[in-house]
Amino acid sequence: MEADKRCIVIGGGIAGAACARALADRGWHVKVLDTAPEPCAAASGVPLGVVSCHASPDDNLLSQLTRAGMQYTLAFARKHLIEGQDWSPTGVLERRLADTDHPKKPWQEPTAESVWFSHVQLAKAEQLSAAGLNSDNSQDLWQPQGAWIKPLALVRALLSHDNIQFLGLHEVESMQKSPATGEWQLRIKHHISIPSMGSSHTYTSETAPHIVLATGAQTPDFLNQVLYEPHMGLHPISGQVSWGLHTHVHEPLPPFAVNGHGSFVAHVPTANGKAWYSGATFERNNASTMHSVQAHAHNQQRLTQLLPQAAQALHAQWSSNSELHAWVGVRCASVNRLPKVGPLDEKRLAGVHMLSALGSRGLTTALLCAEYVADQIEGRPLTASEALSKAMQCDLENA
């Protein structure tokens, strides 16, 4: 008997879109539900993000995940996005700024046998010069495969599949498993705006044998209020991006993305001209989406440390209320900084999986992690190492 290949993904951001696409490419029929009218409405709606790997001399689990994850994201971008408009493989300069509290281990130039050989190099003088930096005694790194990507373009491309149906304004109010069919039954609340009469709502239901929770920063609330389960230590992180157009910027800005103390990307095409982006702030256990002058100031301070020349070139613009803009979103992170991937509880909640806690690395890791989720739904062995699989598992029993 042929398996029932129907799945509902709750959440229309990067994680949800990636899971939907991973399953759709395998012949599954997927409905993606989101409380917003359109995809990419929450943290995934950040206007721009950087794809890079976490470089560590000891090659820790986050390094292993991000290094592999980059390959999935960039392969999809090359095939489905418009280079120079939706994304750009500019390379990424990673600044290893001195930190007296957390000194960084010295980085040695990788040999041909190293896992880092094609991923990370010591930055060369010409790269540092292009960023307005001095090359003396630099421990800064160059990631030749790094890129910037517009998340909205990525999510739209991921959802563009005949087997995927996006359903906006669908709030999952409750879900339970049918004893008769073994399927999950979701009660959906639809919010309706009625002119001159305010708002109202109606209810419908959706059913499927498999559910994927990809609810981002709303994951703790969803677990608690819909499934009555603990939050697994997940916590929100509010982040504000400062950005502006290249108007009145007369000094050269780096031609590639820069990471290390916040991030900075310039020369990004928009409908109103080329733009630069700086940030984001990183406020743990903060779920606010209000932009603030203080966050702008924090981004400016970090840019001054990251790229002094670029900060000086943008100084006048940063002081202009009409030329400086903000975007704020709330990310979700776990205690060990790794995503939560896979089944919630195979005994009590069979058929319910999760992809959450991508933190600020969703562009780099979501597509690979979505493949992990799809493998587990299909009962295939996980291709990740045993240590990484264990570190990413969703353990409600011990939460």
Residues in the chain: 399
The domain 87-147+236-333: what is its CATH number?
Answer: 3.30.9.10
Amino acid (1-letter code) at residue 309: Q
Which among 201, 204, 184 has a CA at the least distance from the CA of 193? 201
On the CB side of 154, CA atoms within 13 Å amount to: 33
For residues 243 and 47, the answer to whether their CB atoms sit within 8 Å is: yes
Which among 33, 116, 25 has a CA at the least distance from the CA of 76? 25
**Secondary structure class of 394 (helix, strand, coil):** coil
Q: Which CATH architecture has domain 6-45+154-234+335-392?
A: 3-Layer(bba) Sandwich (3.50)
Which among 12, 27, 356 has a CA at the least distance from the CA of 161? 27
**Secondary structure class of 169 (helix, strand, coil):** coil
- List Cα–Cα distances, 185 to 2, 179, 208, 210, in angstroms: 21, 10, 7, 10
For residues 261 and 305, the answer to whether their CB atoms sit within 8 Å is: yes
pLDDT at 99: 66
pLDDT at 396: 63
Please give the full DSSP string across 245-294, using - where no structure is assigned: ESTT--S---SSEEESSSEEEEEEEETTEEEEEEE---EET-------HH
Q: What CA–CA distance (Å, rounded) separates 177 from 6?
A: 15
Q: What CA–CA distance (Å, rounded) separates 190 from 35?
A: 8
Parts of the chain with a pLDDT under 70: 1-2, 99-103, 137, 193-199, 396-399
pLDDT at 199: 66
pTM for the model stands at 0.94
- The ranges assigned to domains in the chain are 6-45+154-234+335-392, 87-147+236-333
Residue 29, beta-bridge partner list? 6
For residues 366 and 23, the answer to whether their CB atoms sit within 8 Å is: no
pLDDT at 195: 67
For residues 339 and 356, the answer to whether their CB atoms sit within 8 Å is: yes
Please give the full DSSP string across 27-88, using - where no structure is assigned: T-EEEEE-SSSSSS-SGGG-S-EEE-----TT--HHHHHHHHHHHHHHHHHHHHS-BTTTEE
**Orientation angle between helical segments 151-159 and 362-377, nearest 10 degrees:** 20
For the chain, state the CA radius of gyration: 22
Q: CA-based angle 139:145:151, to the nearest 5?
A: 110
pLDDT at 1: 39
What is the rounded (10 degree) CA torsion for 86, 92, 96, 102?
Answer: 40
For residues 218 and 226, the answer to whether their CB atoms sit within 8 Å is: no
CB atoms within 10 A of CB 308: 13
